[in-house]
Amino acid sequence: MNIISPVIADTFECVGSECPDTCCAGWGITIDPKTAKYYDSVSGEFGDRLREYTKEVGHKRFFTLNEEGRCPFLNDRNLCSVYLTLGPDKMGYTCKVFPRHTFVMDDLLLNYLSFACPETIRLYFSDEESMTFLTSVTNELKNTGTKMRPEEYNTFLHTLITGIELLQNRDLSIRERLIVFISFIYSQQANLDQDAGDRATISLFSDPKVYSQILNDDNIPDMDVAFRIKMFRLLCESFFSGNCKDHKLLKIYKEFNQYFQGKDIRELSSELCGSMDSMKNKEIDREMEHLLVYLCFRYILSDYTKKDLTRPLGNMIAFYTTYLCFLAVEMMMNSKKIDMDRRILILSRLSRYYEHNANTFSEVHSLMEQHNMSDVFSLMRVV
Ligand code: SF4
């Protein structure tokens, strides 16, 4: 099996009580069956607590969060009392591995760190260089997927590699990179749909002259802030009327909505545009690059069984746009710059809801389709 991991993943260490947030609050924490069985066997007062503060929901066992939404085993220094009392090897699988996750496509395994962890984001955002990756081969892991045809496998693999290279092209602005990236993904989708190889597309998108042709094409729509706000509001309405209970994000959105009341969309767009323009600097560009590369690495192949690259692309763009709008709104409302800690907090909270809820991606996709926001031109209008 081939393995690809961001180099930075090797340097990750949980910062425990120094963490500005905690991953042991605000969402369900599952306990795998083997650990649940072990917890049932623990004797004494701690064993009684383990049984009292865990519950079965459907076929899964969870920690029962307290009224503040915290894991009952998280102490007042934000340290885990299961870890402290029983030892690190007695933690459940989720608690042991977070924020490490994997994605498997055929004989390719992608290792990544979730952006739901603020320390992961801090590691990425502090890196001034482009994200680099390590590749390795192992015979230890069994291939769980079906064997794909080599042409298909190559198209997916090239989509991942070339897509990341396009997003890391620092000769272009972030919007320009995204326009080229969106064009590239649609070309690769056409190759998959026609069952054609992708060599011509890859050599085309390896040529920087092609980028200026794409970017100067009259058919490329201008960025449309009003459309961006429309997408942002649509997604937020859906998140907050559904199961997103994140009070930090909700507070920002509520303030924005109050401010929005009675305002003309053009007036608001120009205010928000000003706020977005003031964010244009090297530091934010670098962070956006890391975010987009992370999203590409994590998601662009996620619908490979359906041979679909455009749905993951739509979700990537929706995630990026929502984050961008949260930052712009926060800056506009408070007339101030947002420091990196605040940007990290907003992004990790968004990631928790967006990436770690089973249905969010399909709900976002349906909403975008329903409101004609998922086609290539709409995606280009919002980036
Ligand atoms: S969110 Fe990350 S740094 Fe914070 S406690 Fe969890 S794993 Fe550690």
User: What pLDDT digit, counting tens, does each position of 59-68 carry?
Assistant: 889 999 998 8
How much distance in Å is there from the Cα of 96 to the middle of ligand 1? Answer: 11
Position 264 pLDDT exceeds 90? no
The residue whose CB lies within 8 Å of the most ligand 1 atoms, and thus the one to mutate among 117, 120, 122, 345, is 117
Average pLDDT taken over every residue of the chain: 92
Task: Indicate which atom in ligand 1 lies nearest the CA of residue 14.
Answer: 8
Question: Closest Cα to atom 3, ligand 1: which residue?
Answer: 14
Rounded distance, CA 72 to CA 90, Å? 16
Position 260 pLDDT exceeds 90? no
**E-only strand ranges, the chain:** 2-6, 30-31, 54-57, 60-63, 100-105, 108-113, 133-137
Position 243 pLDDT exceeds 80? no
Q: Which residues pair with 177 in a beta bridge?
A: none
Task: Indicate which atom in ligand 1 lies nearest the CA of residue 116.
Answer: 1
Q: What is the pLDDT of residue 150?
A: 87
Phi-psi region of 195 (alpha: psi -120 to 50; beta: other; left: phi over 0): left
Q: What is the largest CA-CA distance in the chain?
A: 73
Q: What is the pLDDT of residue 142?
A: 64
Question: Closest Cα to atom 8, ligand 1: which residue?
Answer: 14
More confident residue, 330 or 299: 299
How much distance in Å is there from the Cα of 94 to the middle of ligand 1? Answer: 12
What pLDDT digit, counting tens, does each position of 335-352 carry? 667 889 999 999 999 999
Position 144 pLDDT exceeds 70? no
Sign of CA dihedral 150, 311, 186, 290: negative
pLDDT band with cut points at 50, 70 and 90 for residue 143: low
Position 92 pLDDT exceeds 90? yes
How much distance in Å is there from the Cα of 95 to the middle of ligand 1? Answer: 10
How much distance in Å is there from the Cα of 99 to the middle of ligand 1? Answer: 7
The residue whose CB lies within 8 Å of the most ligand 1 atoms, and thus the one to mutate among 21, 84, 113, 341, is 21
DSSP 12-74: ----GGG-SS-TTBSS--EE-HHHHHHHHH--HHHHHHHHHTEEEETTEEEE---TTSB-TTB
Q: Which residues pair with 276 in a beta bridge?
A: none
pTM of the predicted protein model? 0.93
Burial of 84 (0-12, 13-18, 19+ CB in 10 A): exposed
Position 246 pLDDT exceeds 90? no
Task: Indicate which atom in ligand 1 lies nearest the CA of residue 19.
Answer: 4
Rounded distance, CA 70 to CA 56, Å? 17
For residues 103-121, average pLDDT: 95
* Ligand 1 interacting residues, C-beta cut-off 6 A: 14-15, 19, 21-23, 98-99, 117-119
pLDDT band with cut points at 50, 70 and 90 for residue 184: very high
SS3 category, 1? coil
The residue whose CB lies within 8 Å of the most ligand 1 atoms, and thus the one to mutate among 73, 80, 98, 345, is 98
Residue partners of 303: CB distance under 8 A and separation at least 6: 309, 311, 312
CB 114 within 8 A of CB 128: no
The residue whose CB lies within 8 Å of the most ligand 1 atoms, and thus the one to mutate among 12, 13, 14, 112, is 14
Residue partners of 240: CB distance under 8 A and separation at least 6: 250, 253
Which of 146-155, 303-312, 364-373 has the weakest average pLDDT? Answer: 146-155
Rounded distance, CA 57 to CA 77, Å? 29
Rounded distance, CA 239 to CA 231, Å? 12
pLDDT band with cut points at 50, 70 and 90 for residue 358: confident
For residues 73-85, average pLDDT: 94
How much distance in Å is there from the Cα of 296 to the middle of ligand 1? Answer: 23
pLDDT band with cut points at 50, 70 and 90 for residue 148: confident
Question: Closest Cα to atom 2, ligand 1: which residue?
Answer: 117
Position 145 pLDDT exceeds 90? no
Task: Indicate which atom in ligand 1 lies nearest the CA of residue 98.
Answer: 7
Rounded distance, CA 267 to CA 262, Å? 11
Q: What is the pLDDT of residue 157?
A: 95
Q: What is the pLDDT of residue 261?
A: 83
Q: What is the pLDDT of residue 257?
A: 86
pLDDT band with cut points at 50, 70 and 90 for residue 50: very high
| 6 phi/psi in degrees, rounded to 5 | -65, 135
Of the CA atoms within 13 Å of residue 264, those in its CB half-sphere come to: 3
Report the share of the chain in percent with pLDDT over 70. 98
Rounded distance, CA 25 to CA 246, Å? 11
| 12 phi/psi in degrees, rounded to 5 | -70, 135
**Closest residue by Cα to residue 99 from 88, 112, 80:** 112
Q: What is the pLDDT of residue 104?
A: 93
Q: What is the pLDDT of residue 141?
A: 67
Rounded distance, CA 108 to CA 100, Å? 17
For residues 38-52, average pLDDT: 96
Rounded distance, CA 278 to CA 261, Å? 24
How much distance in Å is there from the Cα of 187 to the middle of ligand 1? Answer: 39
